[in-house]
């Protein structure tokens, strides 16, 4: 084959390649707008905007994507100006199109009016999910009044460390999920109006909010199913929060428990998680009061600190209720002391317990410990035990020995070795401990021991 033929073949292949590419591009451009919008919905908003340069067909396709996500990154003043203009352009070009979701994360700086207008625009476009993470440097920022009477919004996430200035009229007829993070509640009356203005609210999360300005409020949402409170801020706060939860299924509290949380009408409650990381009289009193209101739950997660708070005073343990519906108990975060009188009392008061998890490990603070008296549920109901962060110490083996001997209907004991131990690579010692545990006498011959 001569040189001319080779050049001709090469040019033919190149033309064929370009033809195939153009054919593919034309095929993509000929797709209906609704399909193109669906394709763009899998991209971030910035990436979707970049497709506008592909062709005239693509120029404004991105304008009608239902979800808008704007996150301001670190950059120069010029970068911020581009970001601000992009958000503004995206909202202006939508005209009458509705917005399904708007996520906005940025510094407010001197642009409070512009950002406020964006929120107003989202409300006007009948936004259903609004996620705002705003970093403020001034107290003058006020969210638009129209936000607090928005009929379309179903999910609202507010993350901003500022005094939440609330209008006199608050009503969210469609709001089902509300998350407030780092918000400063202004006073009793307006905060009460906020929680009372959500008649169909189903999920509420309060994440490290500031309660210093609050003396007492109530949260009463007839359809509320899930309430989560994170409360780790080291601030002076001693308010009372009364929760009426006639439909409440799940309650989670994690924090210092400086405030007095009261659960009322919570017979529907199924699972609860109380993780207290403070040990002083006030938090012990609040923990004791809170746990007494959880007597109907089927699943309960506690920290050892929460359990020990029950023994802060003698009358606390004496007042511990019977957990007649409790089938699953989980102890997490830290080592659970099997010699704890408070923990034994919880076992004694849980006659139907079938599942027990030590997700923070186990320990003994008394050398003369024995499991006496044996909790009734160990003999009649307990079927599964899980121990995490196992180190194979003599104390732990003693606890396992006692549990195996005194559980008459146990079906499964699962032991997860600690990463600290596994990292040492002493597999012979680990195997030796495993063999010793497998050889221990069992109260239930159907019990299977497994290791992970």
Q: What is the tens place of the pLDDT at every residue in 276-286?
A: 977 778 888 99
- Cβ 253 vs Cβ 277: under 8 Å: no
Q: Is residue 214 part of a domain?
A: no
- Band (pLDDT 50/70/90 cuts) for residue 78 is confident
| Distance separating alpha carbons of residues 379 and 294, to the nearest angstrom | 24
Q: Is residue 325 part of a domain?
A: yes
Q: Name the residue among 146, 52, 155 with its Cα closest to residue 100.
A: 155
What is the structure's pLDDT at 65? 77
Q: Is residue 248 part of a domain?
A: no
What is the structure's pLDDT at 406? 97
Q: Name the residue among 120, 185, 186, 112 with its Cα closest to residue 153.
A: 120
What is the structure's pLDDT at 401? 97
Q: Which of 72-81, 202-211, 374-383 is predicted least confidently?
A: 72-81
Average of pLDDT values for 58-69? 71
Range from 20-29, 77-86, 218-227, 360-369 that averages highest in pLDDT: 218-227
With 0-12 CB in 10 A as exposed, 13-18 as middle and 19+ as buried, what is 113? exposed
- Cβ 361 vs Cβ 332: under 8 Å: no
Residue 170 has pLDDT above 80, yes or no: yes
Average of pLDDT values for 302-313? 88
- 144-156 b/e with 16+ CB inside 10 Å = b? beebbbbebbbbb
Expressed in angstroms, the distance from the first to the final Cα of the chain is 67
Residue 35 has pLDDT above 90, yes or no: no
Element (H, E) at 105: strand 101-107
Partners of 205 in beta bridges: 179, 228
What is the structure's pLDDT at 411? 98
What is the structure's pLDDT at 20? 46
Total count of domains within the chain: 1
Q: Name the residue among 190, 189, 180 with its Cα closest to residue 210.
A: 180
Q: What does DSSP assign to residue 439?
A: T
Residue 68 has pLDDT above 90, yes or no: no
Q: Which of 70-74, 246-250, 438-442 is predicted least confidently?
A: 70-74
What is the structure's pLDDT at 187? 95
Q: Is residue 428 part of a domain?
A: yes
Q: Is residue 284 part of a domain?
A: no
What is the structure's pLDDT at 21? 45
Average of pLDDT values for 184-213? 96
| Distance separating alpha carbons of residues 216 and 241, to the nearest angstrom | 6
List, for residues 117-149, the tens digit of each pLDDT value. 999 999 999 999 999 999 887 666 889 999 999
Average of pLDDT values for 27-55? 62
Residue 4 has pLDDT above 70, yes or no: no
Only one residue has tokens 């129209």, namely 146
Q: Is residue 402 part of a domain?
A: yes
Q: Kindly state the tokens that stand for 61.
A: 């396709």
Q: Is residue 172 part of a domain?
A: no
List, for residues 328-374, the tens digit of each pLDDT value. 999 998 899 999 999 999 999 999 999 999 999 999 998 889 999 99
Q: What are phi and psi of 176, to 5 degrees?
A: -110, -30
Supply the range of the domain harboring residue 426. Answer: 299-452
16: left (phi over 0), alpha (psi -120 to 50) or beta: alpha
List, for residues 141-164, the tens digit of each pLDDT value. 889 999 999 999 999 999 998 889
Average of pLDDT values for 294-313? 91
What is the structure's pLDDT at 404? 97
Please enumerate in sequence order all residues whose Cβ is within 8 A of that of 373, keeping only pairs 6 or more positions apart, or say none.
Answer: 348
Q: Kindly state the tokens that stand for 253.
A: 């509290």
Q: Name the residue among 193, 247, 205, 196 with its Cα closest to residue 222.
A: 247
Residue 18 has pLDDT above 60, yes or no: no
Average of pLDDT values for 311-328? 90
Residue 42 has pLDDT above 50, yes or no: yes
Q: Is residue 252 part of a domain?
A: no
Average of pLDDT values for 45-61? 60
- Cβ 211 vs Cβ 239: under 8 Å: yes
Q: What is the mean pLDDT of the chain?
A: 87
């Amino acid at each position: 084959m001569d040189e001319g033929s080779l050049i001709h073949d090469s040019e033919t292949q190149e033309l064929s390649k370009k033809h195939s590419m153009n054919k593919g591009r034309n095929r993509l451009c000929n797709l209906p707008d609704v399909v193109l919008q669906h394709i763009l919905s899998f991209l971030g908003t910035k990436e979707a905007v970049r497709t506008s340069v592909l062709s005239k067909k693509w120029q404004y396709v991105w304008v009608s994507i239902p979800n808008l996500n704007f996150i301001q990154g670190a950059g120069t003043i010029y970068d911020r100006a581009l970001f601000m203009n992009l958000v503004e352009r995206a909202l202006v070009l939508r005209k009458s199109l509705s917005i399904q979701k708007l996520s906005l994360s940025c510094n407010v700086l001197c642009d409070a009016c512009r950002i406020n207008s964006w929120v107003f625009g989202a409300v006007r476009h009948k936004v259903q999910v609004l996620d705002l993470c705003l970093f403020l440097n001034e107290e003058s920022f006020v969210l638009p009044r129209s936000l607090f009477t928005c009929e379309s919004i179903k999910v609202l996430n507010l993350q901003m460390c500022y005094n939440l200035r609330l209008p006199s009229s608050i009503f969210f007829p469609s709001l089902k999920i509300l998350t407030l993070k780092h918000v400063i509640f202004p006073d009793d009356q307006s905060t009460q109006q906020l929680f009372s203005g959500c008649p169909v609210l189903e999920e509420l999360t309060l994440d490290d909010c500031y309660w210093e300005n609050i003396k007492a409020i109530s949260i009463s949402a007839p359809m509320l199913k899930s309430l989560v409170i994170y409360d780790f801020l080291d601030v002076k706060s001693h308010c009372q929060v009364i929760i009426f939860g006639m439909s409440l299924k799940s309650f989670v509290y994690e924090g210092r428990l400086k405030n007095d949380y009261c659960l009322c009408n919570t017979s529907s409650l199924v699972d609860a998680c109380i993780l207290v990381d403070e040990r002083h009289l006030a938090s012990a009193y609040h923990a004791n009061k809170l746990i007494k209101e959880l007597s109907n739950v089927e699943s309960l997660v506690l920290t050892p600190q929460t359990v020990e708070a029950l023994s802060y005073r003698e009358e606390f343990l004496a007042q511990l209720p019977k957990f007649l519906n409790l089938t699953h108990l989980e102890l997490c975060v830290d080592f659970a002391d099997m010699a704890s009188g408070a923990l034994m009392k919880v076992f004694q008061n849980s006659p139907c317990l079938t599942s027990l998890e030590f997700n923070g490990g186990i320990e003994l603070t008394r050398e003369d410990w024995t499991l006496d008296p044996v909790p009734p549920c160990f003999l009649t109901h307990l079927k599964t035990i899980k121990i995490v962060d196992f180190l194979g110490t003599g104390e732990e083996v003693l606890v396992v020995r006692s549990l195996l001997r005194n559980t008459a209907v146990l079906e499964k004991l699962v032991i997860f070795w600690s990463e600290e131990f596994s990292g040492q690579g002493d597999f012979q010692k680990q195997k030796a401990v495993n063999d010793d545990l497998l050889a221990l006498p069992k109260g239930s011959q159907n019990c299977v021991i497994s290791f992970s």
